[in-house]
Amino acid sequence: MISVNKDKSPRLFQFMKYFGLFVGCLAKFVSGSIFTFNVYQGDIKSMFNYTQTEVELQSSLLNLGLGVGFIPGVLYDKFGPFWTSAAGLIVSVGSYMLLWSTTKFVPFYKNKSWLMGIYFLLCGLGSAFTYMVALNTNIMNFDKKYRGTIVGLLNAFIAGSPSVFVQIYLHILTGSGETKYANFLVFFAILFAIVGIMCMMFLRIYTDDLQEDTVKIIPDNESINETSTVDTCRKESQTGTEMNSISKSQDKSSSCFSNTKDELSDKDFMSLKQILCNLDYHLFSWMFVFAAAIGLVFLNNLTTISKSVRLSQHDSVLLILIPISNAVVSFFP
- Whether this prediction's pTM lies above 0.85 is answered by no
**Packing angle of the helix pair 37-48, 177-202 (nearest 10 deg):** 130
Say how far apart CA 312 and CA 292 lie, in whole Å. 24
Residue (of 207, 216, 247) closest to 234 by Cα position: 216
Q: What pLDDT band is residue 14 in, cutting at 50, 70 and 90?
A: confident
Say how far apart CA 255 and CA 216 lie, in whole Å. 9
Residue 256 has pLDDT above 50, yes or no: no
Three-class DSSP category at 246: strand
Return the higher-pLDDT residue of 141 and 243: 141
- CATH superfamily ID and name for 10-208+289-328: MFS general substrate transporter like domains (1.20.1250.20)
Residue 82 has pLDDT above 80, yes or no: yes
Contact 88, 129 (CB under 8 A): yes
Note the pLDDT of residue 206.
Answer: 76
Note the pLDDT of residue 217.
Answer: 43
Report the range of poorest mean pLDDT among 63-67, 89-93, 252-256: 252-256
Say how far apart CA 250 and CA 227 lie, in whole Å. 7
CATH 1.20.1250.20 residue spans of the chain:
10-208+289-328
Note the pLDDT of residue 143.
Answer: 84
Q: What pLDDT band is residue 264 in, cutting at 50, 70 and 90?
A: very low
Note the pLDDT of residue 86.
Answer: 96
Contact 192, 130 (CB under 8 A): yes
Element (H, E) at 302: helix 302-308
pLDDT in tens, 171-206: 888 887 788 999 999 999 999 999 999 999 999 887
Residue 208 has pLDDT above 80, yes or no: no
How far from each other are the two terminal CA atoms of the chain, in whole angstroms?
A: 31
According to DSSP, residue 234 is labeled E
Contact 32, 161 (CB under 8 A): yes
